[in-house]
Structure 1
Amino acid sequence: MSDMAVTRELFDQVMVPNYAPSGSIPVRGQGARVWDQQGREFIDFAGGIAVNCLGHCHPALVGALKEQGEKLWHLSNVWTNEPALRLGKKLVDATFAERVYFCNSGAEANEAALKLARRYAIEHHGPEKTQIIAFHQGFHGRTFFTVTVGGQAAYSDGFGPKPADVEHVPYNDLDALKALISDRTCAVVMEPLQGEGGIISPNADFVQAVRELCDQHNALLVFDEVQTGVGRTGALYAYMDLGVTPDILTSAKALGGGFPIGAMLTRADIAASLKPGTHGSTYGGNPLACAVAEAAFDTVNTPEVLAGVKEREGWYREDLAKINAKYQCFSEVRGKGLLLGCVMNEQYQGRAKEFLQAASEEGLMVLIAGANVVRFAPSLVITREEVQEGLARFERAVARVVNG
């Protein structure tokens, strides 16, 4: 197998066509740098979509993987294991939560959260309390339940009848939420900063009011922190800076630093509704994933790294302002910490993808969040030099687009 020619063409021959990946194939990474098959270097501002919180091949993660890889990979949940218990204890100690459920991804964490919210409401308030309210442009995963709760119908249309009793209102629109919420509502599901929807921050008074409305109607507040969690916004979890505590929180992406893992966190009284047999995951909480995640969590959850995220946000904002003063293509830079979005102004509407492609040609990996936002979600420990070099490449990419 090793002498097989592995090219981008092979993708089209063997893979289901739901992705259209870049022409170059990365083969190696170190810190915030990645090299492709041809040895071409990229600066990574994409972070595997906010996953690689410690960049590539961080020694703490490599060490944890190698060490656990020699011990135990998988048991099944007929037994528990030490890495899962240690990671669970650390998550509980560091957050509002009292109980943790492990799975493999953000979608699975959200699936568990939605099932728990429904089950809790039905057990405590009766069979009518099933309505889930979420927000337009929200994103919660691609399982059929989570993609229906996500606020982009295009992602859930065309697959037949959708899970019922799921409704959407505009983000930051308190009146719309007030008009819809009732004692039939079992949960309000929201990102404390919309990621895929365009890097939209919540108004502080809006978040407070959502919490109060949930309390009034005995509805659970579910925070999807898959993208915002584990240091991304400069707090360990975004809710900590908002002065609002959810009832259920979901975490994934950066939690494993690149190794697949997800977690749903909640209070003990709510968790009680998932009794043995009600929900599960074959790989969830396996020792290999939990050992790597524990190393990632320990590394990020320090005052130095979290303060460093806010410092790095300053580096980005300062240099992006200089670039924009020259080329005038962004109306604003949105977001918080190291989840940032450059928003196209009127002249460049719908052209975010052109900036992404030009960046790639200049040796820079970036993301988009919709047609109008170029998104950055780099390593939380990216160096000043890597940021400067990446933004120099970004400036050349911007010049390319602006000058046609």
Structure 2
Amino acid sequence: MNLPEGVVIHGREPRPGGPQWTERYRGAVMNTFGDPQRILVRGEGSHVWDADGNRYLDLLAGIAVNALGHGHPAILEAVTTQLQTLGHISNFFASAPQIELAERLLELLDAGEAGGRVFFANSGTEANEAAFKATRRTGRTTIVAAEGSFHGRSMGALALTSKAAYREPFEPLPGDVRWVPFGDADALAAAVDETVAAVILEPIQGEAGVLVPPDDYLAAARRITTKHGALLWLDEVQTGIGRTGDWFGHSPSGVRPDLVTLAKGLGGGIPIGALVALGEAATLLGPGNHGTTFGGNPVATAAGLAVISTIEKDDLLTATRSRGDQLAAGLGANARVESVTGRGLLRGIVLSEPRSADVQRAALDAGLIVNAPTPDRLRLAPPLVLTEDEAADAVRTLSAVIDEVLS
């Protein structure tokens, strides 16, 4: 490849070190993910290093998880201090970080006089399972979900996930689910009636390649669900906690959902999920209706508080918008890029040819971690602490790789 000065392509086969670890992985870890692309051993800021000493600019952040990058001192301090103070308790008891984080989430969602309540889990899938159970308490059973959606891999969350390759091996799945095209308000209106318990939507579809609906789509969804007495459930697992340059992906729409599910960036790398129910929906789950062993534990909730506090203190929402615009402008200038979708630091790079997997592999060899969710799209979801210089390096390197692969 004829790449710019300073851009180095590593060999296709990992150097000594990686192969041994990969062989041990094959012998010990269940084969649900295939062979790992690399064996990573260390991270700092927006970079990670593999077992062979190669450095990578992480433009995926654990799939939108490491909001503050790797090894951020605020998370390290919060987790270490909390673990030294109080590590795990059952949900027969409560802790100060659990209560404080629930309060902060309600503030960020502007719960207002109607109030709300939070159920803490360990992942986005678990948060969606909790929300699914809450919808059953309405007395209705039908859920309307969008084509192209991804809500998790457990049986309940999978029932709401549209990709046939994920669903079909495990059918029949629970629930009565109606599918509608994402972003089509007319189709949504036709699908919702008085039998529908909830409509579940992602403000931006991540696994589908970072698809953004029309500006009035969520507002239309709110009107439609209100008309028929159904819940509006927004899956903010990937888009929430600053990822799009706002606290939540739905924030620019001005709508008030009934249910919001969160995870990924909330813990900055520490496993946590949350179902936030607003207004009357906050009363749907009561004692004995749901539970968890680890959900809301002091360490994970302390990490969540540290993430929110750091985003506020360092004005990372503004930085996220700026870096996202920088990536979009730089990559959008490439003649082989049809468009750049998304907002903030959740971006889809639409290629002129369906070779995203080839570009992703070449980018990894060039020291960039990106994702290829669909044949013609790359997904970028870097840490919110990505610097201007790092974003410029990402544009330069990824543009060169795209040119070389698609030439």
Instruction: Give the TM-score normalised by the residue count of structure 1.
Output: 0.92
Q: CA deviation at 1:219?
A: 0.2
Superposed, which structure 2 residues align to 1:218-229 within 5 Å? 218-229=229-240
Counterparts of 2:298 and 2:257, CA distance in 1: 28
Segments of 5+ residues of structure 1 without an aligned counterpart are 123-128
Q: Residue 126 of structure 2 aligns with which residue?
A: 108
Q: Residue 308 of structure 2 aligns with which residue?
A: 297
Give per-residue Cα distances to partners, 1:162-190, cap 9 Å, x unaligned.
11311111001122222221100010000
Give per-residue Cα distances to partners, 1:73-96, cap 9 Å, x unaligned.
111101111111111111112213
Q: Say which of 324, 339, 343 aligns to 2:346.
A: 339
SS at match of 1:96: coil
Q: Which moved more, 1:390-399 or 1:290-299?
A: 390-399
Structure 1 residues 146 and 265 mapped into 2: Cα distance closer, same or farther (>3 Å)? same
Q: Say which of 29, 34, 44 aligns to 2:43.
A: 29
Q: Aligned pair count?
A: 387
Q: Residue 164 of structure 1 aligns with which residue?
A: 175
Superposed, which structure 2 residues align to 1:3-402 within 5 Å? 7-97=21-111, 98-119=116-137, 121-122=138-139, 129-302=140-313, 304-322=315-333, 324=334, 328-345=335-352, 348=353, 350-402=354-406
Structure 1 residues 32 and 318 mapped into 2: Cα distance closer, same or farther (>3 Å)? same
SS at match of 2:200: strand
Structure 1 residues 335 and 62 mapped into 2: Cα distance closer, same or farther (>3 Å)? same
Counterparts of 2:80 and 2:382, CA distance in 1: 25
Q: CA deviation at 1:21?
A: 4.1
Any conservation in 1 of the 2:125–2:152 contact (CA below 8 Å)? yes
Counterparts of 1:164 and 1:376, CA distance in 2: 32
Q: CA deviation at 1:336?
A: 0.6
Counterparts of 1:283 and 1:265, CA distance in 2: 17
SS at match of 1:198: coil
SS at match of 2:169: coil
Structure 1 residues 176 and 245 mapped into 2: Cα distance closer, same or farther (>3 Å)? same
Any conservation in 2 of the 1:192–1:224 contact (CA below 8 Å)? yes
SS at match of 1:275: coil
Any conservation in 1 of the 2:218–2:250 contact (CA below 8 Å)? no
Structure 1 residues 302 and 183 mapped into 2: Cα distance closer, same or farther (>3 Å)? farther
Counterparts of 1:202 and 1:138, CA distance in 2: 12
SS at match of 2:194: coil
Segments of 5+ residues of structure 2 without an aligned counterpart are 1-18
Equivalent position amino acid for 1:330 in 2: V
Give per-residue Cα distances to partners, 1:223-261, cap 9 Å, x unaligned.
000000000111111221112111110110000001100
Equivalent position amino acid for 2:340 in 1: V
Runs of 4+ aligned residues of structure 1 deviating over 3 Å after TM superposition are none
Equivalent position amino acid for 2:186 in 1: D
Q: Which moved more, 1:190-199 or 1:18-27?
A: 18-27
Counterparts of 2:237 and 2:313, CA distance in 1: 19
Q: CA deviation at 1:309?
A: 1.0
Equivalent position amino acid for 2:163 in 1: Q
Counterparts of 1:187 and 1:268, CA distance in 2: 15
Counterparts of 2:363 and 2:162, CA distance in 1: 29
Any conservation in 1 of the 2:98–2:297 contact (CA below 8 Å)? yes
Q: Residue 125 of structure 1 aligns with which residue?
A: none
Aligned Cα RMSD in Å? Answer: 1.7
Counterparts of 1:90 and 1:159, CA distance in 2: 38
Any conservation in 1 of the 2:180–2:187 contact (CA below 8 Å)? yes
